[in-house]
Structure 1
Amino acid sequence: MSNIAEGPFSIEAITSEDRQAVIDFLRQFFYRDEPLIIALDMTVDVKAMAKLEAYCNSLLDNGLACKAVSADGRLIGVILNGVKCKLDKHEDDTEDDTKFQHITKFLNKVDKEANFFCQYPNVCRALTIDIVAVDHKYRGKGVCKSLMDKARELALKNRCSMIYVECSSYFSAKAAEKLGFQCIYTLSYKDYLNDQGQPIFNPPPPHTQSKVYVLPLDNN
């Protein structure tokens, strides 16, 4: 199903023609709200933001990215997904000397310590929800839920038996819990330290932890 009507908006696949609009949307509704980006004051680091945008662009090329569109054709939400497999290996970008590498190293640590495939040995493939962003005016109106429902549809279509999401935001964690996701790992920001023993991330409250959530899927 390529379109899902949900009241005053629809969920559609993101196409190559949407690329710049999606990046502009993320600049307005994701970069400014993401706790790790805020904690590093990363939006003023041109090179770091270029790395981040290259990463976001890579998520638009796998056929798993979707958008929410209002009845009058405006972009009001996006979800960028991926697929993780049991045999995948993670490697840090050794050429990245920007603030963005602090985020990638942190997320790799979270992923490694969550030890997802060991916790669920019967799972070989999982859909990862990498980025979700919703226009402030449309939050609380079911847009995030509809995007997540579409992610579930894509997971089943791509032979994934679980959905996996790392939530660095208090609000995204609460949204995952509301949608029935199970928390399998938590790391407090105050416990993630640099070589001097100081926290690397000090995001504003209520963001105090990064959590990993999963949602088992019925493939029948």
Structure 2
Amino acid sequence: MKKELEQGLSLIAIEDNDKIVAAAINYELNSSIERAVDEDYQKTGIARKMAKRSMLLAKKRGHKLITADVTSKYMAKIMEKLGFTAIKINSKFEIRIADFSDNENILKFMKRTYLKTEPCLVSCGLSLKEPSPFMIDIMKKQLEQGLSLIVIGENDETIASLINYEFNSSTELEYYSNLSKLADDKIVKDLIDFEAYIATLSDVCQNYNVDKFFTISIIAVDEAYQQIGIARKMIERSIILAKQRGYKIIRADISSKYTAKILEKFGFTAVVSFPLKNYLNDQGELLFKNIIPPHDTFQIFIYRIDN
């Protein structure tokens, strides 16, 4: 909330005696609205006035779209009267830690989603090829650590997954080097070399004085279930999991601008931002030749866990 307030788009309602009776937190993510009214001042029109004022503010700032996350039927009626259109979503899904029996389903899911749509893979052309067995094997090893999440829809199908894993100081330096030597495809090798280079820019263990850290690595949501908060919920659950397991630092390797915005809302800080157009492989060739805006930058985000 603090970060949302810092955008300077929010409203406050104050009574004559300087008591705060209501507030509407607005923030830029296609202009979203969240609001709260003191119980003693509910049903007096304050919520409607703040919603209208928020709409005027968004219009002044040049926003073309406003979203409002509403759970109250009373607020839903207000928003509909102001011209908002309700988007009905199917919220019947379960997020849980993936166990060994889930791994094959997650890998199949990643083959048809992440490996076909992830911005770096699209930019370097790997998304057009058959999924690399080598990359699948890397995912499989990360899943075996038992830190990943799976989201199951109401028909028991996998609709999203987030692969988390532990990096530690004793293996970090050798990890990418060994992967690069074993890569089964030139572009795969170049991509691993790129990730190794980016990792040296953050040097998490050295810079944050830890011998291990929690890594948010791969996020994928089925297209039919996007934009209903599943990615946000998976990241939130991952933060909780990292805290429970005693990690001090979470690193997230991200090329999606949309995911980057979610991380920033949770308090992650970008410590590396590398434009994809600037990277050349060891032959001096561009690796990312088909960059799709706005996903033109690879970023490493850090989240510090305070006990």
> Same fold, TM exceeding 0.5?
yes
Superposed CA deviations along residues 15-67 of structure 1, whole A, max 9, x for unmatched, are: 23222221121122211111221122224545x71111111111221111111
Whether the 8 Å contact between 2:168 and 2:212 is mirrored in structure 1 is yes
Aligned pair partner of 1:190 in 277, 300, 306: 277
1:8 is matched with 92
Opposite residue 194 of structure 1, the aligned amino acid is: N
Superposed CA deviations along residues 108-136 of structure 1, whole A, max 9, x for unmatched, are: 11111112233323x33321011111111
Note the 1:75-154 alignment, pairs <5 A: 75-91=158-174, 92=177, 93=179, 94-98=181-185, 99-121=187-209, 123-154=210-241
2:154 matched to 1:71?
yes
Q: How many equivalent residue pairs? A: 212
Q: Which runs of 4+ in 1 moved over 6 A?
A: none
Superposition TM-score, scaled by structure 2 size: 0.64
Query: What RMSD in Å do the two structures reach over aligned CA positions?
Result: 2.1
Opposite residue 300 of structure 2, the aligned amino acid is: V
CA distance in 1, matches of 2:282, 2:96: 45
CA distance in 2, matches of 1:137, 1:200: 31
2:302 matched to 1:214?
yes
2:288 matched to 1:201?
yes
Whether the 8 Å contact between 1:162 and 1:214 is mirrored in structure 2 is yes
Greater alpha carbon shift after TM alignment, 77-86 vs 15-24? 15-24
The alpha-carbon distance between structure 1 residues 59 and 136, as it changes in their structure 2 partners (threshold 3 A), is same
Whether the 8 Å contact between 1:185 and 1:211 is mirrored in structure 2 is yes
Higher relative contact order structure (alpha carbons within 8 Å, sequence separation ≥ 6): 1
2:82 is matched with none
2:119 is matched with 35
| Structure 2 residue ranges without an equivalent (≥5) | 1-90
Whether the 8 Å contact between 2:163 and 2:217 is mirrored in structure 1 is yes
| Structure 1 residue ranges without an equivalent (≥5) | 1-6
- The percent of aligned pairs where both chains have the same amino acid is 23
Provide the secondary structure at the position in 2 that maps to 1:59.
Answer: helix
Shift of 1:195: 4.8
Whether the 8 Å contact between 1:65 and 1:81 is mirrored in structure 2 is yes
2:136 matched to 1:53?
yes
Superposition TM-score, scaled by structure 1 size: 0.87
Task: Kindly indicate which of the two structures has a greater share of residues assigned to helix.
Answer: 2
Shift of 1:85: 2.3
Aligned pair partner of 2:256 in 158, 169, 177: 169
Shift of 1:159: 1.4
